[in-house]
Amino acid sequence: MKPRSQNPGPERPPGFTYQRFRRGILRRGSDLVLHCDRVALTELCERYGTPLYVYSASMIRQRYQALDTAFRGFPHTICYSVKANSNLSILRLLARQGCGFDVVSGGELERVLAAERKAARKVVFSGVGKTREEITAALKARILLFNVESESELWTLAECAAQLRTTAPVALRVNPDVAAETHPYISTGLHKHKFGIPIGDARQLYAKASGARDLKIAGVSVHIGSQITEVAPFGEAMTRVANLVNELRRDGHRISYVDAGGGLGIAYEKQDFVDFSRYVTEYARLIVQPLRKLDLHLLLEPGRAIAGPAGVLLTSVLYRKTNDRKQFVVVDAAMNDLIRPALYGAYHEIVPVKQRADSAVRFDTVDVVGPVCETGDFFARDRELSAVDEGDLLAILDTGAYGMVLASNYNTRTRPAEVLVDGKDTRLIRRREKVADLLRAEL
């Protein structure tokens, strides 16, 4: 343990900041307490318990607006990637901003329609394994575009459209063979990956599709991966897509849309923080530059970039223990609540919800682990962390994307509640599960 000067920790305005918090009628004394917007996270834990997901509505709006502003000089629609965080209240919040949606399953489409029925006209349907039932539901909803991943899927889509006596708007998802520096599990833009059609084969398949009366060639789609923090690969991919669009138009196809996909990463470690507005401005410049003279409507599919920093997972310290010299902080959240560290070895900043107001804080090197019976059930290993006691609260930051959507009931653990904060207002947007909920579906 070593003393260190107090640091209020990473601040991510307008969502999560440390603020002075006073209690009682006399309001004597004060602590530095992590707030979501203007609400102390300690109060939310008292009301709803832990583990608990908390989201900042103001940050979601800010991130969406920053992206929308960055592309304001080019016709575009931002189609939020529902798989990042699919809570109905968050989808409604984004729909009210004018956002479209990118879905990868029939269930996600149903979520969008439940949140805002009119949003169907701004939905793109991606994914390599669309079923006939999912395709039929999307055709009936009259979505904007199908991003087709294979020739077999193309003919299945044509059959479904024929049965409904309608026309399916399609874009082929091309694989540009562009490498992106990201985790191999979420890289999708190389020929060795399951996604898309090799860009060299695209013209031939577009020619075949143009002869199907139940299909309408509408665009070209691309997506090279997720959590990409260097923006240069996006520009490289768009240059290849622009060349393909020119070739397709010379072949006689009417290409109205280019779907640039998503994948824009966020800074999970505070030393990597950048000004988001400047970051997305450079991203937009690289995306738009190759398309500038093509008279197209651009579609974008951000998910993590909007929702990721807007959420935290709150957890209580159950126990502290030491095995020889190894120190563990055991918390009540687990890998079933947030699987990214176990699945990807992903880094998430972990901070105390309440910080001492004096000038020095002890720091320990610890593993932060959960109660699940797996060695892989951890949130941090050998992490230098402000010393905490049993009963203290911790916040695992940047969990607004790929947090609750990946949660499970492993070990028959119930999934957390979710709360949305907007200024001073708080709203429970998913109640905490009970074991009875899990048993109800079993026969």
Q: Measuring CA to CA, which residue among 357, 355, 363 is closest to residue 385?
A: 363
In this structure, the strands spanning 16-21 and 31-36 are antiparallel
The torsion angle over the Cα atoms of residues 211, 214, 216 and 221, rounded to 10 degrees, is -90
Contact 161, 169 (CB under 8 A): no
Picking from 412, 357, 353, the residue whose alpha carbon sits closest to that of residue 45 is 353
Whole-angstrom Cα distance, residue 440 to residue 443? Answer: 8
* Helix or strand (DSSP H, E) at 132: helix 132-141
Tokens 């996270």 map to which residue? 41
Beta bridge partners of 368: 329, 380
Distance from C-alpha of 420 to C-alpha of 367, rounded to nearest angstrom: 29
d(CA 334, CA 74): 44
Contact 217, 254 (CB under 8 A): yes
Cα–Cα dist 73/69, whole Å: 8
Place of tokens 């998802």: 173
Q: Is 99 a catalytic residue?
A: no
- Tokens 């998503």 belong to 262
Calculate helix-pair angle for 151-163, 202-210, nearest 10 degrees: 20
Active-site annotation holder among 36, 45, 79, 373: 373
Greatest distance between any 2 Cα atoms in the chain: 78
Best CA proximity match to 85, nearest among 335, 422, 400, 416: 400
The residues that are catalytic are 373
